[in-house]
Amino acid sequence: MVPSSSSRSRQLAGLFAKAAPAVISVGLLLLAWELCARYSGIKPTILPAPSRIFAQAMLNREALVDNAIPTIRATLFGFACSLSAAFALSMLVDFFPPLRRALFPVFVISQTLPLVAIAPLVVLWFGFGLMPKVLLVALVTFFPMLVALVQGYEATEAEIGQVLRAMGAGRWRVFVLARLPSALPYFFAGLRISITYAVVGAIFAEYAGAAKGLGIYMLNAKNNFRPDLVLAAVGVSAALTLVLFGLAVLLQHLAMPWEQADRQGQGKGP
């Protein structure tokens, strides 16, 4: 079913209508900041105006891009690791429920570790390379993903499992045919949250020590009394997070085409 051009333009218009409030609120916020920075008499070395941050970001774009790449690499690599681990463990827990009681307390404790304390230690143990960043990103994203997956499996409609077992499906078939797809909405909800943690985790690790990366760039800019460059790097990391978030949403739409059908559920057949 290919949507006609008119329905597509209507979709686009709807998208704009949905995005408008966010654009307006962010725009007003930036405007207020700009006015405040210009007319309050606060020095730009304390509070730089958004226009100045943007201009400096453009001037230093090579350095910013150069430092963003290791951050992106650490984020994606760390997230891939935590995702694989969360998947493997969630399946283990699903097939051997007693494991849950043994493992979950450990993971809950792992979530209570203050990043401020852990980041320098991880750098101390694993050096300035990619490894400590990957570990830290994995640490902050692993547990939310694991919980999302385990909860998702458990959300499987009991009667679907009953029907499958009556058809002669074993545990593995039931898992693949019913529990895994049932977990998808939970998985994507977890993904959207974790992906934002992931960028923060990577920057934190770099802050604690790195050769390159947005985190270390921020630290250096701060030490050079350049809040404008700190904020420029913050802007880059925010944009990065938004892009990853958007990718997660896009992925969800592609992976769950029936969601649209659920939403239009009113237009039912006879």
Partner 1 sequence: MSRLELRHVCKAFGGLEVLADISLRVGAGEFVSILGPSGAGKSTLFRLLTGAQHGDGEMFFDGTPLDNHGRHFAFMPQRDALMPWRRILDNVTLGLEVQGFRRKAARARVAPLFAEFGLAGFERHFPAQLSGGMRQRAALLRTVVQERDMLLLDEPFGALDGLTRTAMQRWLEQMWRHHRWTALLITHDVREAVFLSDRIYVLSARPARIAREIKVPLPRPRGPGGDAARQASALEAEILDIILNPGLSPQPPEGYDHD
Nearer to partner 1, 156 or 237 (CB): 156
Minimum CB–partner distance for residue 205 and partner 1 (Å): 37
Question: CA 45 to CA 249: how far, in whole Å?
Answer: 38
Q: Residue 17, Cβ neighbours under 10 Å: how many?
A: 9
Nearer to partner 1, 165 or 192 (CB): 165
Minimum CB–partner distance for residue 267 and partner 1 (Å): 7
> Under a CB-based contact definition with an 8 Å cutoff, are residues 182 and 152 in contact?
yes
Question: CA 171 to CA 181: how far, in whole Å?
Answer: 15
Minimum CB–partner distance for residue 268 and partner 1 (Å): 5
By the criterion CB under 8 A, which residues form the site for partner 1? 157, 159-160, 162-169, 173, 177-178, 181, 184, 256-258, 261-262, 264-265, 267-270
Nearer to partner 1, 188 or 217 (CB): 188
Amino acid at 23: V
What letter does residue 213 receive in the DSSP assignment?
S
Nearer to partner 1, 154 or 157 (CB): 157
Phi/psi of residue 170, nearest 5 degrees: -85, -175
Minimum CB–partner distance for residue 175 and partner 1 (Å): 13
Nearer to partner 1, 106 or 166 (CB): 166
In which region does residue 209 sit, left (phi positive, over 0), alpha (psi from -120 to 50) or beta (all else)? left
Question: CA 21 to CA 9: how far, in whole Å?
Answer: 20
Estimate the crossing angle of helix 50-59 against helix 61-95, to 10 degrees.
100
Minimum CB–partner distance for residue 195 and partner 1 (Å): 23
